[in-house]
Amino acid sequence: MSVQAIALPFKGILSGDRAFHSHTAYQSGVRQELTHPTHLPVSYTFDTESKIVRVVKRVFSIIFFPILIYQALHALLGKIFFLPASTPSVMGYDPNHAAKCRFAASVTGDWKYKRFTVAFDGHKIDALVMGKTATFGNGRWVLAANGNGGFYEDKFRERHDFKDLLTALNGNAVVFNYVGVGASPGFPNRDSMVKAYRAMLNLLEDKERGIGAREIIGWGHSIGGGVQGAALSGHTLKEGIKYAFINSRSFTSLSKTARGIIKIPGLGALVRLIGWDFDALSSSKKLKAPEIILQTARVEAWEELTDSKKIVHDEVIPVSASLAKALLDDKKMSRESKVIIGIPETHNESLQNIPFLAKKVEEALKL
């Protein structure tokens, strides 16, 4: 039996008589989807440019050799430094890490999964719906943007802080892998990361072909916070939908972070020159929705911060490049819709005080 694309609008299969998780063949069907070695047939498309424009761009990149060289360098540095999940061996992972996580996922418990593929501007990304039978119809959805070493498949673990957050929020999620990561084909590209997030956000907002969410909670960790910010900078939030965004242990800009980690003169300028920078600080200041920023600090337990004195190096991002510090130090900016929380967890540690975070999200959704 071949794996099929989703035939109905997404909201038509999430709850009710046609819900994918209530089908008698759910377990065998989801097992077949999860063990499929490549991405599934496309179920949703969100293009920001025409096919003709894409073809013209490709032709120009071939004709003008310097453009082709630039694109190759951009992809190569992405695979090594900026999106190492696209080359698992760089992180010491098994090259088949994503596939093995999908294969090992439990499909018999409370958590229900639906794998699918989203297409945008000539790219395809592997994605997943996850939630529980009791929550799929409630309209509350979390959209996760992974860190540069993250795979959505890591969230299959039964004890994972992301699942704990969904449970605490009584919500559901759509998760995805960036282009070049896991079963999302292609090469790492900064713009494709941003467009992937926008495509997934549009899927959630779309009432006709998509999920038609009533509440959307963005979750961006590390470089995912930069991706989330850049995607929102070019996106108009929809009326009638409540939004709240979480930015977990992210930076002011990727170029400043790189300069702080590796003391090489001109490194920040090089990151900008090769097109890999993310300006999360500017994006955060422009955001027209509540935002919760989590940052490692010298605290024993989670607490809201009013100044940057307690911000510390989180073992990846230097204090000088911390988004939380920059926002706290900017006395001219209104922080009315921002909550900055100091946490004891370092950059890649699992979050321990999920109830605290869930409470702040609930408060943000009421603003």
> Tokens standing for 204?
């959630």
Question: What would the pLDDT profile of 280-296 be if each residue is shown by its tens digit?
Answer: 999 999 999 999 999 99
Residue 207 is encoded by which pair of tokens?
A: 């009432």
- Helix, strand, coil percentages (3-state) for the chain, rounded to 5, are 40, 20, 40
Q: What does each C-alpha distance from 255 to 155, 281, 340 come to in angstroms?
A: 29, 12, 23
Question: Which pTM was predicted?
Answer: 0.95
- Beta-bridged to residue 220, according to DSSP, are 145, 247
pLDDT band of residue 4 (cuts 50, 70, 90) is confident
- pLDDT at res. 60: 65
Please choose, from the candidates 280, 238, 288, the residue with its C-alpha nearest in 3D space to the C-alpha of residue 257.
Answer: 280
pLDDT of residue 133: 96
Taking CA atoms, 185 is separated from 1, 123, 342, in Å, by: 23, 8, 37
Q: Do residues 249 and 317 lie in contact, with contact meaning Cβ atoms separated by under 8 Å?
A: yes
11-365 maps to which CATH number?
3.40.50.1820
**3-state class (DSSP) for residue 186:** coil
Token couple for 260: 């702080």
193-244, pLDDT tens digit by residue?
999 999 999 999 999 999 999 999 999 999 999 999 999 998 999 999 999 9
The DSSP H or E segment spanning 102 is helix 97-104
